[in-house]
Amino acid sequence: MIVQVLILTFVVSSGSCCSARNANGTTNHSSILNADTQRTCNHGIVDFVCQGSQGCVDGLCGVCRSDADCGAQSTCKGSQCIHKGIWPPTWQTFISMIGGFAISILGGATGLGGGSFVVPVMSLVSFFKSSVGVAIAQVTIFGNGIMSFIMGMYGRHPNRDRPRIYCDIVVVMIPCLLAGSFIGVYLAQIVPQYVITVLLCLFLILTLYRSFKKAVVEFRKEQQIRKEAKQAALSTFQGIKVGLSADKESQKGSSQITKYESPSFPDHADPQLSNESINIDQQEHQHVVEESKEMDELTSEMESLHKKEGNEIYKSGSVGPIKPSPLITQFENMPEFSVLSPPQTPTNEFDIPTSLKTLGETLVPTKQKAPQPPDSIINEHSLNTDNISPELAQMYKSERRLSIKKTIFCVIMWIVLLLVSLARGGKSGKSIIGILKCSAGDWVIIVLYLIFTGCMTCVGSFLTLKEQRKKDALGYQFAEGDVRWTLRSSILYPFICTAAGVLAGLLGIGGALITNPILLEMGVLIPVVTATTSALLLTTSSSSSLQFAVGGMLPWDWGIVFFILGLGGALLGTAVVARIAIKKKRYSVLLFLIGTLFSVSLVISGFHGLFTIILLASHRGYMGFSSPCN
């Protein structure tokens, strides 16, 4: 986390200054201080400077003697500064809860989790130690990830009847991301802090630019679609208006004819002449009725012929230029219908001309799309599962739920990650089997884990490539945003994900901040991106949360409350914000939210880098390369 690295850097720099003071012999508190933690402090920054459960005694970090030696939110118990529980709540508690809930809403809507923003809230508002703040943040992300995963699992793909989580990407990305993060963490302990800061700022600036650029492009695309839909609706309304006017004229003409059916004549009129006029009018009226019946028969015959031709073309599987039948051509060229036939643009749809539609058909038009080639990218509405092989039909059916095979694959990766983390120890606590850092056993575990993740990456890529070739052979119809796996992409994407993992571990940012832009660049739909990144985030956050809990670094009362806040925030973010954006087809809203979170990260990172460089320079701290074993 960014703020965590900021606090740790401040601690190291303060420790260097303190060591210089002790070397000069000006201050000596060896009776109350541990030998390796002699850092200067004051009561205002004791929670930021002193490690673990230490307090500030006479300007130096050490074991506490009273509550005055601890921070504002801590008490001294058994010579240790213990943070106060969540009950009774204070104003800092309420602000922390509101901030955590708001971050969870945005994290759930965008799939970014928001852990990088929970840490500063816990450290700056509730005055938690950096390690404890990270533990609470991980639990919050864990709750957020669980709810986002559930919503993504039961939420449906925008264009297909299948889960929103893209299992193929999860299977390929999880192993290489975890392997890359292992390498990145070690590089972060070697590379100087100012180099990390510069790389982080450059990465965030580039990602911020790409995110907002995609958001603007998507926004303009949505505006164009809305404009075209509005014009189409206006054109339809004008056609209905013309049709109603024509109906009124026809009714007016009919009423004028029927006036002669029972006329009244003056006394001097010739009865025989009147009867002849009546007969002529009745014959004309009968002729109009017969023409109307003939028109209805022609309309019915044209519709049946239209359906027959459409079915024959669909069964043949060919999509070529559709030639109208002579009957349709003759019917459309009749002068009686020239008024009601507005110009139409040629399409591949079997549409009945507007002049032949009733008012109800005009209000609710029915369209039958022409068949498309098997390798086309279509949506669920044009997906037709008739006349396909049983194997392909079974493939479509199996996509409606998460793959059990791929789920087991992810569970295995999660279990191995948890066991390796507990065996090695780290920021969440000591090794459960007593392995020391940089010992032979530690290096053996690292090498074996990297080999394991490499093998699992190959297995995941092989499975996706095999499934892709099977889809191509069966004529699978891909949806918009589906990744077309090839041998090249099956090799290239894992390398990109490994580099992304290295970058995430090196720069100290969450994996979702890396994977989200990668998926967007791959062309995956935005709702699928948010659901997939939440699944990736669940894997890492759950493992870290269990490590913190086993290591005894998680305050259970705070952990439970913020776990619930993470659940509720993700539920609100995915069920309200993301669902409204998906339902309204306003994906640009999610992209703008992602860009906003990247902007906040850039501000925090810039402040962190500047503060670190100034602090190290003012205290003449070491700014070169270091050993990962120190």
Q: What is the pLDDT of residues 266-287, one digit of tens each?
A: 444 454 444 555 555 556 556 5
In this prediction, residue 361 carries a pLDDT of: 42
Decide if pLDDT at 255 tops 60. Answer: no
* Residues 6+ positions from 60 with CB-CB distance below 8 Å: 18, 27, 29, 33, 38, 39, 40, 41
pLDDT at residue number 298: 58
Q: Pick the last residue of a domain from 39, 60, 83.
A: 83
What is the reported pLDDT for 516? 76
Q: Quick one: 59 and 95 in the same domain?
A: no
Would the pTM count as exceeding 0.75? no
DSSP bridge partners of 62: 55
Number of alpha carbons in the 13 Å side-chain half-sphere of residue 202: 7
Q: How many domains does the structure of the chain reveal? A: 2
Domain for residue 184, yes or no?
yes
Measure the CA–CA gap between 40 and 47, rounded to whole angstroms.
12
- CA-CA-CA-CA dihedral for 355, 361, 363, 367, to nearest 10: -100
* pLDDT (0 to 100) of residue 50: 64
What is the C-alpha to C-alpha distance for residues 116 and 134, in angstroms, rounded to an integer? 9
Same domain, 114 and 158: yes
- Give pLDDT, residue 51: 61
Identify whether 237 is part of a domain: no
The verdict on residue 64 lying in a domain is yes
Per-residue model confidence (pLDDT) at position 286? 63
pLDDT for 366 equals 43
d(CA 127, CA 296): 82
Q: pLDDT value at position 336?
A: 42
Residues 584 and 435 in one domain: yes
Q: Which residue has the higher pLDDT, 180 or 314?
A: 180
How many residues comprise the chain? 630
Tell me: do 96 and 72 sit in the same domain: no
DSSP designation for 378: -
Task: Please enumerate in sequence order all residues whose Cβ is within 8 A of that of 154, keeping only pairs 6 or more positions apart, or say none.
Answer: 163
Same domain, yes or no: 558 and 494: yes
- Tens-place pLDDT, residues 485-526: 888 888 888 888 888 778 777 766 666 677 777 887 788 887
Structure-block tokens of residue 568: 């509720």
- The amino acid present at 218, given as its one-letter code, is E
Asked if 161 and 585 touch (Cβ cutoff 8 Å), the reply is: no
Q: If you search the block for the tokens 């990736």, which residue do you land on? A: 536
Q: Where a domain ends, among 83, 103, 138?
A: 83
- Is residue 600 classed as helix, strand or coil in its secondary structure? helix
* Predicted confidence band of residue 251 (pLDDT cuts 50, 70, 90): low
- Residue 302 has a pLDDT of 60
Between residues 207 and 349, which one has the greater pLDDT? 207
Model pLDDT, residue 373: 40
Identify whether residues 70 and 102 lie together within a single domain. Answer: no
Residue 262 domain-assigned (yes or no):
no
Whether 211 shows a pLDDT value over 80: the answer reads no
Task: Say whether both 148 and 116 belong to one domain.
Answer: yes
Q: What tokens appear for 222 in the block? A: 């949505």
Mean pLDDT of 237-256: 62
Q: What number is the average pLDDT over the span 563-567?
A: 87
Q: Taking all residues of the chain, what is their mean pLDDT, rounded to a whole number?
A: 68
**Residue 162 and residue 13 share a domain:** no
Q: What is the CA radius of gyration of the chain?
A: 36
**Which carries the bigger pLDDT value, residue 458 or residue 54?**
458
Q: Which domain holds residue 471?
A: 91-223+408-606
Q: At 476, which amino acid appears?
A: Y
- Write the CB contacts of 125 (distance below 8 Å, at least 6 apart in sequence): 92, 95, 96, 99
Q: What is the pLDDT of residues 408-430, one digit of tens each?
A: 888 888 888 888 878 877 655 57
pLDDT at 17 over 80: no
**How does 453-471 read in b/e, with b if 16+ C-beta sit within 10 Å?**
beebbeebbebbbebbeeb
Contact (Cβ atoms closer than 8 angstroms) between residue 179 and residue 502 = no
294: in domain: no
Domain limit, last residue, from 49, 66, 83: 83
Q: Please give the share of the chain, as a percent, with pLDDT higher than 90.
A: 0
Q: Are residues 36 and 120 in the same domain?
A: no
Structure tokens at 314: 């669909």
> Which residues are bridge partners to 56 per DSSP?
61
Q: What is the pLDDT of residues 382-413, one digit of tens each?
A: 455 566 788 888 888 888 887 888 888 888 88
As a whole number of angstroms, the distance between CA 412 and CA 5 comes to 31
In a domain, 392, yes or no: no
Q: How confident is the model at residue 13 (pLDDT cuts 50, 70, 90)?
A: very low
Question: Per the domain annotation, does 233 fall within a domain?
Answer: no
Residue 240 lies in a domain: no
Name the band, by pLDDT with cuts 50, 70 and 90, for residue 576.
Answer: confident
158 and 200 both lie in a single domain: yes
Instruction: Using alpha carbons, list the distances in angstroms from residue 420 to 27, 182, 448, 541, 547.
Output: 43, 11, 10, 15, 11
Provide mean pLDDT across the span 214-241: 76
- What per-residue confidence (pLDDT) applies to 33? 36
- From residue 617, alpha-carbon distances to 4, 19, 40, 68, 417 in Å are 20, 16, 17, 32, 38
pLDDT class of 360 with cuts at 50, 70, 90? very low
User: 365 falls in which pLDDT band (50, 70, 90)?
Assistant: very low
- 461 & 555 share domain: yes
Residue 345's pLDDT band, with cuts at 50, 70 and 90, is very low
Contact 515, 536 (CB under 8 A): yes
| pLDDT the model gives residue 342 | 42
The DSSP output letter for 63 is -
207 near 595, Cβ under 8 Å? no
Q: Which residue(s) pair with 432 in the sheet?
A: none
Please tell me the predicted confidence (pLDDT) of residue 293. 65
Distance CA(262)–CA(89), nearest Å, equals 93
Give the pLDDT confidence score for residue 214 in this predicted structure.
76
Residue that has been written with the tokens 């007969």 in this structure: 279
Residue 228 has pLDDT above 50, yes or no: yes
Note whether 372 and 123 are within 8 A (CB). no
Same domain flag for 72 and 107? no
Q: Residue 354: is its pLDDT beyond 60?
A: no
307 confidence band (pLDDT: 50, 70, 90): low
Tell me which residue has tokens 């509405």: 381
